Structure 1
Amino acid sequence: MTMTEILVLYYSRHGATASMARAIARGVAAAGADARLRTVPAVSAVVETAAPAVPEEGPPYVSLDDLRACDGLIIGSPTRFGNMAAPLKHFIDGTSALWLDGALAGKPAAAFTSTGSLHGGQETTLLTMLLPLMHHGMVLVGLPYTEPALGRTDAGGTPYGASHWAGSGMQAKPLQADERLLCEALGKRVAALAEKLR
């Protein structure tokens, strides 16, 4: 039998969301599952511009086959006006074939986000990322308050998913210890549930 595979799919413009994805992948691995990191290309207002087939650095671009093959999905995006960034939304909008097949139905899913300001829309972004996953019939996974870091964090972290107060520009902030613990906990929870649901 193959190892349980969790797809950690994200868009990251300045690296904060990518840092979270790596912490989530460590949590997935700690639960004995395989984490597959994937990203999406940026979108452009100029429709003739195409992204290269392979990004210059970081994980490969996601494909519909990555989604079809995964046992669980964790998606992440920086916050854009209380919602996910356009590149991730653009990709998700193209998953109708999987929806028609029910390819993701019954698989566990979770979300994570980073914001430039403390009250920059973390919870609304997480909730809006979860909506299309509900339409796909996925089983939503959050972070319960049995996670001690959720009760003591003074930056990111919500019951709706992992979050990070990233700051911006010269005020950029690395992942704090509690934020990192919550990312890892989210990865572990999704991986453990995926293993049970297999």
Structure 2
Amino acid sequence: MSTRILVLYYSHHGATAAMARQIGRGVGEAGGETLLRTVPKVAAETRVASPDIPDDGPVYASAEDLSACDGIIIGSPTRFGNMAAPLKYFLDGTAAQWMNGALKDKPAAVFTSSSSLHGGQESTLLSMSLPLLHHGCVLVGLPYSEPSLSSTRTGGTPYGASHVSFGDNAAPLSDDEAVLCRALGRRVCTLAARLKGSHV
């Protein structure tokens, strides 16, 4: 049975979704299966605004996806140095999975995008790591053995993959950003496969 990695994200303008697809490619390069999932927007009253399954693209995540995966990678655009409300709302509803250890000992990583170079990327990545630590995940970052981490002039951090659009919501990922996204997917998948094999 292949290693299944849940790539869970919220994307407003499409950059975070583009990163999620590159991360999924990296999972595939490592021989794994990607469960690409998103979350719905929330209304001003902090409730799900559009609960119907989208006509196209990734389906909305369910709490059961946390149990079904061997590793998880979550992503969000920056919102004042924090994750966006829709992703936080979803994670806040995973207490039952926390209690039964659905993510315990599974590798996890984070990714983000922002419109400016100093848009709060690292604090967003760190804030997304907190619920993963509470779930008992094994956090995975990007080591400097990845050459693109040193050569990038846009996104990319040791805390996780990132993208900077410089105010252009349609800006594609830079080559370095795409490479680092794939590297993160490969790394989580490889570690998940090792951990999964050690429990047999």
The alignment's TM-score, normalised by the length of structure 1, stands at: 0.96
Q: Does 1:179 align with 2:177?
A: yes
Alignment check: 8 A CA contact 2:105 2:138 kept: yes
Alignment check: 8 A CA contact 2:149 2:157 kept: yes
How many angstroms apart in 1 are the aligned matches of 2:12 and 2:153? 24
How many angstroms apart in 2 are the aligned matches of 1:34 and 1:185? 15
Q: CA deviation at 1:48?
A: 7.5
Q: CA deviation at 1:49?
A: 6.9
Alignment length, in residue pairs? 196
- Structure 1: unaligned runs, 5 residues or longer: none
How many angstroms apart in 1 are the aligned matches of 2:24 and 2:140? 16
Moved over 6 A (4+): none
Alignment check: 8 A CA contact 2:41 2:49 kept: no
**Root mean square deviation, CA, Å:** 1.3
Q: Secondary structure at the match of 1:84?
A: coil
Residue 88 of structure 1 aligns to which amino acid in structure 2? L
Q: Cα distance 1:86–1:194, how it changes in 2: closer, same or farther (>3 A)?
A: same
Alignment check: 8 A CA contact 2:26 2:181 kept: yes
Report the identity percentage. 64
Q: Does 1:194 align with 2:196?
A: no
Residue 186 of structure 1 aligns to which amino acid in structure 2? L
Q: CA deviation at 1:173?
A: 1.9
How many angstroms apart in 2 are the aligned matches of 1:132 and 1:14? 24
Q: Superposed, which structure 2 residues align to 1:88-103 within 5 Å?
A: 88-103=87-102
Q: Does 1:42 align with 2:38?
A: no
How many angstroms apart in 2 are the aligned matches of 1:46 and 1:137? 30
How many angstroms apart in 1 are the aligned matches of 2:142 and 2:9? 19
The alignment's TM-score, normalised by the length of structure 2, stands at: 0.95
Q: Cα distance 1:50–1:138, how it changes in 2: closer, same or farther (>3 A)?
A: same
- Structure 2: unaligned runs, 5 residues or longer: none
Q: CA deviation at 1:55?
A: 1.5
Q: CA deviation at 1:102?
A: 1.1
